[in-house]
Amino acid sequence: MKTCFAIFLLGMALLAGCDPQRVAKLEEGVSTEVDVRKQFGDPVTVTVAPDGTRTLDYPRQPEGWTNYVIKIGPDGKMSSLRQLLNEDNFARVRAGMDAQQVRDTLGRPAEQKRYDLKKEEVWSWRYKPVNESRLFTVTFGPEGKVIATAKADDPREQAQAGR
């Protein structure tokens, strides 16, 4: 079982490592959804807006450090390709936001934990500014609204460094 998990982790790491090359092959206003799917594969989710814009989600969590959102305009061309896990987006997460607003800002979290006694839920995203692995967390209170955010070193990296 450990061997299968190790192979899975290696595959995810290789997939995430290829993302910059995939992104470089796509051009806003020119590339089509077929081009996007050729580079990134099938998205985890597809959301269609009333105007026909298609939003394709490519989260690389929990093992990667990125979450991509690619929009295909009503004309069938890629209108934007964004990596969501960055300092600007973390700064947009504010007290009072609901879970859907946070998910729209950062994409799918790497981990979600419930703390029933405190009536809180904590979501975490792994990200990698420069060469360090970090963790961004959002805490939701009993009403399902953001009550706190935090940044810390990724505990997985610290555990591996201690081996």
Structural domain boundaries of the chain?
Answer: 2-83, 87-161
pLDDT at 105 over 90: yes
Mean pLDDT throughout 10-22? 58
- Chain center to CA of 77: 22
pLDDT of residue 15: 43
Mean pLDDT throughout 47-53? 96
C-alpha 47/C-alpha 146 separation (Å) is 24
pLDDT of residue 5: 37
Q: Quick check: do 2-83 and 87-161 share a fold?
A: yes
What pTM does this model have? 0.81
> Which class is domain 2-83?
alpha beta
Mean pLDDT throughout 57-67? 91
C-alpha 64/C-alpha 6 separation (Å) is 14
Choices 3.10.310.70, 3.30.450.20, 3.10.20.30, 3.30.1450.10: CATH for 87-161:
3.30.1450.10
| Confidence label for 1 from pLDDT (cuts 50, 70 and 90) | very low
pLDDT at 91 over 50: yes
pLDDT of residue 6: 36
Given phi > 0 = left and psi -120 to 50 = alpha, else beta, which region is 33?
Answer: alpha
